[in-house]
Amino acid sequence: MVDFLDIPFDLNSVAQLASANATGFWITIIINLVISTVVGGIVLIFVLMAFNRMYGEMLVLKRAFVVVFIVNLINFVGVVGFLTPLIAGIPFIGIILPLLIWVVMLKVFFEDMSILHALVVGAVFFVLTLIVIPWIIGQVGSILGI
C-alpha cells in the first residue's frame, strides 16, 4: 500500500501509485481534466465578462482556459491535499487555500486586473467550482457518453 505522507519525498511511492492503477483510470483522469478545463474556461469567461462591465477593465479572455487548466492540475494532482495536513493548524484552511490559489492565478495571468477584482472573481468562481461546474461537467459527460 502507498503511504501518502511520503509521496512528495519518496519517488518509489509515486511510482507505486502510478503503476497500481489500470490504464483506464489514467485515461479517465485525462478526459475529466480536459472536460473540466473546457467547461471551467467557458464559465470563467462568462464570469469575467460580467465583472468587466462593473470594473471596466479590458482583459484577454483567452487566458481563462490556461488559468482553469493550471488550477485543475493543482487540484487533480492533489497539491492542496498534500499541503493541508502540513498547515492544518489554520482554521478553515480547506476553504482558504483553494480560494487563495484561484486569486493568485487570476492575478498572475490577468496582470491588468485590480486586486479587488481578482478577489471578487476568485471568490465567485471558487463557489461556482464547488456548486455549478461539477453539475455541468456531469451533464457534458453524459452527453458525450462518458
pLDDT per position as a tens digit, 21-63: 676 777 888 888 888 999 999 999 998 888 888 877 777 788 8
Mean local confidence (pLDDT), 99-117: 88
pLDDT of residue 6: 46
CA distances from 105 to 12, 21, 22, 70, 127 (A): 31, 31, 32, 8, 16
Q: Which of 79, 76, 65, 73 is nearest to 37 (CA)?
A: 65
58-98 per-position pLDDT tens digit: 777 888 899 999 988 887 776 666 676 777 777 877 788 88
Asked if residue 115 has pLDDT above 70, the reply is yes
Asked if residue 7 has pLDDT above 60, the reply is no
pLDDT of residue 69: 92
Its pTM stands at 0.76
Instruction: Give the cell for residue 46.
Output: 462568462
- CA dihedral sign, ordered 18, 87, 114, 126: positive
Percent of the chain with pLDDT over 70: 77
Residue 55 to residue 51: CA distance in whole angstroms: 6
